[in-house]
Structure 1
C-alpha cells in the first residue's frame, strides 16, 4: 500500500521492500484493454495450481500443500491481473520448480502458465518458445501507445511516501477508470512526434563483474540514473520516483552518488587497515582446529552440466511433465486443440521421479515459508 519511498543507501528493511510491488502498479496494469501476449512476474498467481498437476507438485514440494489449501501460495494481485488481462502466456519464477498450467477464460481462450526450476544440473530450467515473425522485416522495439498514455494520465498517483497510498475507486468523487480514450492517445502520440520506435541509444550504466579485479577493490556502484528512464520521463512529462525523493531531500543524483562512493571508500580504508593486522580481535577465530582446511586451499567440486537434446521444429515447445507416479488421464484436456501445450513423456520423468523420492525423504523437516509478508507494499 505504500509508495516508492526507498532510495540509496538501503537499510536492512528497504533493501527488501524496494522490490515489493505497489498497488499503483497493479492499478495501472488493470487499465490495459488491448490483448497481451506475454506477462512476466516473480510470484505465481494465487490458485494457478488448480489448473495444472497439483498432486505432482505437492509430491515434489510437500511444504506447498498447506499454503495451497489456504490460498496463500502465490500473489493475489497477480491472480487478479491474470483474470483481467488474460494474456496468452504467463511466466513466473520464485518457487524453484517446474510447473505448467492451462488457465481457461471465457470465449474458449486460455492462458498458458509456465514456471521453471533453478538453473542447476539435472533440473528443468530451460524451455524454448518460438515467436513467429516476418524474417524480411527489420526487428525494432516499439513503445506501446496505450501503456504510455496510462503512465501519463496516472502520473498524479505516483507516491514516494511511506504511508498507505489508496487508488481511486468506484464510489469516490475523482476519476477511477484510466483506460485511455482516443483523444488521450492522440495527445501522447503527438509528444512522440508520431513515432513509437524506441531509439537504439542504449548505454551501459554499470560495469560488469570482472573476475580479474582483486576482491578488495570490488565495491558497490551506488545510485546511477538510467538515461532511458530520464529520456522517457522528459518525453512524457512524468515523474521519476527516485528523482522525486532526492529533490525532496534537497539532493541530486550526482550528489547522492558522490556521498555513497565516499561512504564506501571510508569503509574500504577501515577494512584494509584491519587486514594489515591479522591479530586484530575481529579476525580471530578460536574455533579453528588442526583438521580445518584453509580457505585458500578449499575448492568446491562443481558438477558437470548436461542438457537434454533440443526439441526439433516438429515437436511442440510448450510442455508439462506427466506425473510419472500415476496413470490417470486427468490432464488429457491439456492436449486437446492446443498445439503449443502438451504432455512431455520424455526421459525427464525419470529425473522427476528421483527428485520426488529425494524430496519425500527430507519432507520430515519442518519447512517455514519465506517472505510471508503481504505481496503489496
Structure 2
C-alpha cells in the first residue's frame, strides 16, 4: 500500500507532544510492509536542521519531507505553517499515493494535502488527536480556520479517527456523519518495554531515597495539564498525612518540556515551600523516561482536558497505577481497573492519590491490570492492523 502521512510536527520534535510520537509510531509500523512517506515542517522549539537535505530524509526507515517554514516563530504562535514550497511539491507527489492520513487538521499542510487529494480522487483520513472542537486556547483563530478550511477538511474526509467515544461525539457536533467515524485509540510499542531499566537509576540521579514514595507526572508543562491543581493537592497531602502515614516520605517528579507554564509552576512550588519535595527534570525521552516510570510508585495526570494519555499507557506498560481527573476521556476504563479517576478539585485528587499511594495491594492490582491491558489492546501492533483494515475500505 502507498500511504502518505501529513503532520505539522514530526520526529525528532518530541517536545511538541504526544501527537508526534503517535504519528511516528503509526508510520513506523506501516513502513515495515508498505510504501510510506511523511510530509511535515521543520518547526520545533528550535527549528530542525538538515545538513544533508530536507527531502526523503530516512527516519528509522520512514521517508520524510521536512518543508521549510518561512517563520518558525509564527508557526509556534499560531500553529500554522508557512511552507512556501509545499503546495507545488504536494501537488506533484500526491499522485504517487493511494491514501492520505492527516494528523491534526488545523494546519496548513492539511489544507494542501486535502485539496490535492480531492482533485486526484485519493481518499484521505483525518485523525484530530483530541483537537476536534475549537476550545481552551486560540479559540478565535481555530473558529476562523474552521469557517475557511476546517469544516471542509473534515466533511470531505473519507473517514475520521476518534480516540474515544467522547471524541466521536465531538466529530458529530462538527457535522461529520456517524458512519464516517472510526474509534481508533492510541498505543505503545511493546518492543520498547521488553527490557526495562533497573530500579533506582532515576532515583539515584535526583537524590530520591529508595524508601521514599514517588509520584510522577510526565507531559508538557502547560496550563491545560492541571499542574496547579496537582501542586495544591500535593501540598495538602504532605501537610495532612494520616497518623499511620506520618513517617512516610513523599516526593513529586515533574518530567516534560516547558510549554509556557514553568515560571508559574515554580512560583507555586516556592509559595508552598516545596522546593525539597518537588523535582522538575525537564524533558526526558526513551530510556531516561522509562527510568522515571520504573522508579515511580504512582503516575498522575491531573489535566483540565485530555483526550488520551500516551504517557499513561507507558506507565501501564511499566506496571504502574494511574490517577487522573475525569477530564481525561479514558477515565471510564481507568477508574477502578488500572487506577482511580477523580473530580477536578484538589480534595478529590488528593484523596485518590492517597488511596493508591498507601495501599500496596490496590497499587499492585492496578499495575498488573494495566500491563495486561496494553498487551491485549493498547499497543501499536494491534492498532496498526486496525488502521490498515480501515484504509483498505477506501481503496
Q: TM-score range by the shorter chain?
A: under 0.3
* Greater share of helix: 2
Question: Which fold has the larger relative contact order, with Cα–Cα distance below 8 Å and residues 6 or more apart in sequence?
Answer: 1
The alignment's TM-score, normalised by the length of structure 2, stands at 0.22
The alignment's TM-score, normalised by the length of structure 1, stands at 0.22
